Structure formats: C-alpha cells, structure tokens
Amino acid sequence: MKKIQVVLLFLLMVGNSAYAQSKELAQDTVAFKPHGKVFTQVFSDFTYKVTNYKWQPAFEISRAYLGYEYYFSSKFYGKINFDVDNPGMGNLQMTAYLKNAFLQYNNEKLKIAFGLIPTNQFRLQEAFWGHRYLLKSFMEQYQFGSSADLGTSLRWQATPKASFDFSILNGEGYEHLQSDSTLMYTAGVTAVPLKNLYVRFYFDYMKKIEAQMTYAAFVGYRGKNFTAGFEYNNQQEHGGVADHDLSGISLYGTLKLKNNSNLFFRYDKLMSKHIGGVPDGWHVIEDGRLYTGGIEFNPVKGVTISPNMTGWYPVHDTHHIITGFHLNVAFKF
C-alpha cells in the first residue's frame, strides 16, 4: 500500500512539473510574435589626397547595405543582406554582392549559423575599432580574410567569461563564391579574464597547393569613456603561395567626449617575408604604415559624421607618402 502511495505521489509531482513547463512554454509562445524589418546603411565621403605634391579631390559612395532580417521565433533568426560596393574608388561604378543569406539558431549558450554567414575571424576586433565606415579592420583591410563566406559556424558560451567558436567555410569570401573541394577550417577562443578586458586567439587552415594558415591574437579594453585594442596577425603562405607570409599589428583607441562625440586614432603596420636574402619583402609594394585620427559626431540617432586624416608611409623609398583629408558620413535606418 505504501509503495502504491509513493508511486502515485511521484506521478503527481511529475505531472505538476510537466504541466508547469508546458504552461511556461505556451506563455513564451504567446508572448513572442514573429517579426522582421528592412535595414539600410550607407557610407559616403569627400576625400582630398596628396601624393607626390599632387592633389586629388573626390566624392565617393564607398558602400551601401540593403537587407531584411526576420525573427521566426525567440531562437530562430534569418537575414539577407546585399553589399553594394564601389571597387573603383572615385569612379562611382557600383557592384552589388549578396553578402549574407543565412539561418541562425541561438539559445543562451549555443549559436549555430548556416548559409552565407558572417565570419568570426575579426568580428570582435571590428567591434572594438568601431569605425568601419572609415576604414576596415586590419585583417579585412589587408586581405587576410573576408567578413562573410559560405559555410556553417558554431559559437559556444562555455562560461560567462569564455566562449569558443568553430566554422567550416568555402574560403573564398562572399565576393568570390566558388564551388570546389577546398574548405577553410577555423577555431577561436574569446575570454574576459578581468572586468572590461577581452582576449582572443584565432586560427584558420586552408590548403589548395600550399597550406595557408592564419594566426591572430587580440587584447582589448572597453571602459565607460575609453576603448582600446591591440592585435597581431600572421598569415603563412598567403593565397596558397609558398613563402608568401604576411604579418602586421594594429593599435587603436576611442575616447568618448561630451555631446555625442569622440576622438579616435589608429596605427597599422603591414610587413611581408623576405625571400632569398633580398632586402625587401615579397609584398613590398603594399607594405607600410598607416596612421589614422579624427573626431566623430552623432548629431541624431543613425547619423555619424567624421572629419579625419590618414597618412600612408610605404616601406620602400621609391613609393610616395599618401596623405588624406576626409569627411566621412554614414547613416542607417
């Protein structure tokens, strides 16, 4: 008799628990309403470049994003995004690419994306740099990798202070979607060892003829009024070519001011491997140092205006220093 009472009590407890869970799920389902929205973002600027005592003024529309995102549920999300780019700066010859077209599953600890997805290679660095409309982050600027690609990715929030990400990609980037048997494999870890301090390590591998491997390390600080980041990047056999190694550093920071404005700076240095004892690297035409600095204003939500200055100092003496004075404008809605 006691056994029967224990069994009945257990069944009653299980039943109450199942009912409570189903009721909670039903409430969540009722509370959430599938929804979507159109989004647009445009980057434009006026540039005055000085090289070899020659002045080159130009108005540019450097990039425009047009897309739509939709929340199927609290855990399923989809996005399609077109990137309208200007490959020939100053010529206004715009080319449209499908940059994103993916479905994403997301819960508290796990995020999985499939399709034409954003890559994880430098997303954290780009967020700390914070001025994408002015200048791409280091690895994208110097073609260490692409911001989007065909494939699948997984991000696991192992603890509140550590996450791991993995992906399998086509490896060509969203501007060169090709179907072949070569894939890129990536892995990264991001940690927050101290309050406001972020650390990330990243690696990727892709082999066609020679194995291209990328190593990256990043340290960033995000405070109330100041944000700073430092990254070191190394890519061996760039483009799958033997001994074509690239490396470089990028240091940047943003100081928040009053009235929705801030000051920013950035320093890049790109270097290439010396082959066969020659005095210059194989990539000497593109090797050099970049200085960027300016002020940024946000007069209203969605609008950003920045007068700024850049200076490019090539490694080789036969190449000219390029100084640029810019007025950049970005808006989104």
Q: Are 233 and 248 in contact (CB under 8 A)?
A: yes
Mind listing the pLDDT tens digit for each residue in 187-240?
A: 999 999 999 999 999 999 999 889 999 999 999 999 999 999 999 999 999 999
Q: Based on the domain organization, do 245 and 312 belong to the same domain?
A: yes
Q: Based on the domain organization, do 118 and 20 belong to the same domain?
A: no
Q: Is the pLDDT of residue 68 over 50?
A: yes
Q: CA–CA separation, 311 vs 291, rounded Å?
A: 5
Average pLDDT, the chain: 89
Of 186, 251, 248, 241, nearest in space to 220 by CA: 251
Q: CA–CA separation, 69 vs 99, rounded Å?
A: 13
Q: Are 253 and 227 in contact (CB under 8 A)?
A: yes
196-125-302 Cα angle (round to 5) = 90
Q: Based on the domain organization, do 114 and 246 belong to the same domain?
A: yes
Mean pLDDT to the nearest integer, 164-173: 94
DSSP string, 37-66: EEEEEEEEEEEEEEETTEEEEEEEEEEEEE
Model pLDDT, residue 156: 98
Place of tokens 């483009």: 239
Local structure of residue 321 (DSSP, 8 states): P
Q: Based on the domain organization, do 198 and 112 belong to the same domain?
A: yes
Mind listing the pLDDT tens digit for each residue in 70-104?
A: 999 999 999 999 999 876 544 556 788 899 999 99
Q: Are 332 and 40 in contact (CB under 8 A)?
A: yes
State the CATH number of the domain containing residue 55: 2.40.160.10
Q: Based on the domain organization, do 194 and 208 belong to the same domain?
A: yes
328 lies in which domain range?
A: 32-332
Q: Based on the domain organization, do 106 and 255 belong to the same domain?
A: yes
Backbone φ and ψ of 16, nearest 5°: -65, -40
